[in-house]
Every structure is written in C-alpha cells, then in structure tokens.
Amino acid sequence: EVQLVESGGGLVQPGGSLRLSCAASGFTFSNYWMHWVRQAPGKGLVWVSLIYSDGSGSTYADSVKGRFTISRDNAKNTLYLQMNGLRAEDTAVYYCARVYCDGTRCSSGLGYWGQGTLVTVSS
C-alpha cells in the first residue's frame, strides 16, 4: 500500500525557515516524480513544486521560486521541501503527492497524497 507521511510543519516567524519531509513507503520511490501541493485555510489547492524521479530536475510555482527548494533522498525514500524567507501568505497545509500510474504508464494526475502538515507563518 502506498503511504506518504509528511512532517516538519509548525509555527515560524516571517522571514524564517522550515524544512518539510515526506516519508514514502509501499512503492519504489526512486521510480516516480514527486510533488508538493499546498492549501491555505479555507482556500483552494495550489501546486508548489515537483522533482524528477532521480532528482536531476525540478520546477516551481512562481510564488515560491527562489525561496523554496525541493529535494529527495532516494536511499531514504524521503522527499523534502526547504522553505526560506517565509511569508504570511505561505501559511497552509502542505501535501506531498505521487503521480497515478496504470500498469507501466504514469499520468499527470496525483493519485496518492499524504495527510498534510500545517505551516503557520506568524509573529
């Protein structure tokens, strides 16, 4: 069974930093692109970043580019999101997610999600 468990959220002051982790199990982690998606309280889903299966490439939403860094450790089956220069508008539940694959082909749909970890940016 695919499992994704986020951790590392909490309260941080504006301008501060935080590193989120996502522990993956139940699948061959190194074979899949992974994503971070966030959701501010009472608001919609917002894609944050993705990283290729081997970590060789990544892309970011404009709102976090230059402040957030996605990375992964395939030996530890763990995805990370380093968040620097945090702002009040970064307050959200952060989800890690994996693409859905049918057979040997993967879609762009995110078929597996963690339970999320809450990041609150406030003084």
Partner 1 sequence: SYELTQPPSVSVSPGQTASITCSGDKLGDKYACWYQQKPGQSPVLVIYQDRKRPSGIPERFSGSKSGNTATLTISGTQAMDEADYYCQAWDGSTFVFGTGTKVTVL
Binding interface with partner 1 (CB under 8 A)? 35, 37, 44-47, 50, 59-62, 95, 100, 102, 107-111, 113-116
Strand 78-83 with 58-60, pairing: unpaired
**In Å, what is the CA distance from 85 to each residue of 67, 100, 106, 107?**
6, 32, 34, 33
Closest to partner 1 by CB, 16 vs 27, is 27
CB contact at 8 A, 36 and 99:
no
CB of 37 to partner 1, least distance (A): 8
Closest to partner 1 by CB, 37 vs 83, is 37
Closest to partner 1 by CB, 19 vs 52, is 52
Strand 58-60 with 45-51, pairing: antiparallel
CB of 23 to partner 1, least distance (A): 15
